[in-house]
Structure 1
Amino acid sequence: MKTFLVALMLAWAGAAFAHCDTLDGPVVTSARKALDSGNLNPALVWVRAADEAPIREAFAKALAVRKGGPAAQELADRYFFETLVRIHRMGEGADYTGLKPAGETHPAVAAADGSLRTGKLDRVDALVMERLRAALERSFHEVIERRAAAKDPNDVPAGRAAASAYVEYLHYVERLHDVAESPAAHGAPITHNHKEPS
């Protein structure tokens, strides 16, 4: 259950992070456009205004080095891609773990990007709702089953298992609600404020 919850939370934030790290993701695609056109603006949209200076510096260096031939261009481009992605992630409070190969996009992110291209939400809806419903039902039924197995007040281990399942279920439902109410900003933590049973 915890694994699915983490996957859900990261599907829109973490997966988006990973998408931003890929060589075919939106950050590197914008960096390529900037380098090819000589116009930095497509790349600047991916960093905070306060972080523009190192991007401008890396861009100027990359443009200068690119003139040294194909090998120099490849090296300069890679340097600029890495700098832009690193500073983009830093602005989100995320670690930079290097550029990822093209094609390593999370299915939820691919569906979300596809929905924006087609103007239709069906694929995202089906992907997310199917998994949400299945995970919600598993979590709910686990609480019911563990409570049924914990009828004996002297069976502390069974009671603990029931309490643990209950708390996980509440956290899960609360986080789903919080995400639905206000999707986390790219990289923002999601908090919970439920009361433990007394």
Structure 2
Amino acid sequence: MFQLIKRLFALIPQVEAHCDTADGPAVTDGRRALESGNLNHALKWIPADGEAELRHVFEQAMVVRSLGAEAKEVADRLFLETLVRIHRMAEGVGFTGIQGHGAAVEPVVTAADRALETGDLEPLRPLVPADRFDELAHRFEHAREKKNFAVDDVMAGRDYIAAYVSYFKYAEGEDHHHAHHAHAHGHHA
């Protein structure tokens, strides 16, 4: 029966994303929260209505992490999977686990990430249809404007993530996603 279910899930098209990869930004921020003891690094990735659940798992993970290397590994995994699951649910996408280090990510996603780091959107131009580039540039600038926020300003972090996701989903060819994600995070498109 398990094999049948596994085969059925393999037939479902997977949404291209990098928030569910071990190298992706949500997991990276989750690890930063665990290492620093400051949950605010991760809270920006989830809507306010998921905060109590994530906070509870984080508090448990912080206690269990001190019980040894194996306990730390299990606690970290539970926290990171909870973070990504809540984030994906807010996007209206199912959680299928955290993809391993080096998981394949679409070139447009890699280029979009690099553009936010460098401030240069031009490398994305050949990867996006010409008629979409102006809107992409607008979303890029919007995300960049919101990028530098204080880690303890969770609302500003959530505003940034809403702009970030809108930018990425548009780069990937999804138009409708921004309104849904912004709504899920309590923002209006």
* TM-score normalised according to structure 1 size: 0.59
Question: Cα offset for 1:112?
Answer: 0.2
Task: Please tell me whether residue 121 in structure 1 is matched to residue 121 in structure 2.
Answer: yes
Unmatched 5+ stretches in structure 2:
1-12, 133-169, 182-189
Larger CA Rg, structure 1 vs 2: 1
Q: Indicate the residue corresponding to 1:36 in structure 2.
A: 35
* TM-score normalised according to structure 2 size: 0.61
Describe the SS at the equivalent of 1:20: coil
Describe the SS at the equivalent of 2:128: helix
Q: Indicate the residue corresponding to 1:97 in structure 2.
A: 96
| Alpha-carbon separation, structure 1, partners of 2:87 and 2:129 | 30
| Alpha-carbon separation, structure 2, partners of 1:21 and 1:57 | 21
Give a deviation string over 1:129-153, Cα, whole Å, max 9, x none: 38x9xxxxxxxxxxxxxxxxxxxxx
Q: Which amino acid aligns with 1:38?
A: G
Tell me the matched-pair count: 128
Question: Cα offset for 1:42?
Answer: 0.8
Q: Percent identity?
A: 50
Unmatched 5+ stretches in structure 1:
1-9, 133-178, 190-198
Describe the SS at the equivalent of 2:98: coil
Q: Which amino acid aligns with 1:113?
A: D
| Alpha-carbon separation, structure 2, partners of 1:63 and 1:47 | 19
Give a deviation string over 1:141-174, Cα, whole Å, max 9, x none: xxxxxxxxxxxxxxxxxxxxxxxxxxxxxxxxxx
| Alpha-carbon separation, structure 1, partners of 2:107 and 2:21 | 14
* Deviation beyond 3 Å, 4+ runs, structure 1: 182-189
8 Å CA contact 1:62–1:80 kept in 2: the answer is yes
Q: Indicate the residue corresponding to 1:27 in structure 2.
A: 26
Question: Cα offset for 1:30?
Answer: 0.6
CA RMSD of aligned residues (A): 2.7
Over 3 Å counting, the alpha-carbon distance change for 1:63 and 1:183 in structure 2 is same
Q: Indicate the residue corresponding to 1:168 in structure 2.
A: none
Aligned 1:42-121 pairs, distance under 5 A? 42-104=41-103, 105-121=105-121
1:185 to 154, 177, 180: 177
8 Å CA contact 1:31–1:42 kept in 2: the answer is yes
Over 3 Å counting, the alpha-carbon distance change for 1:114 and 1:108 in structure 2 is same
| Alpha-carbon separation, structure 1, partners of 2:28 and 2:50 | 19
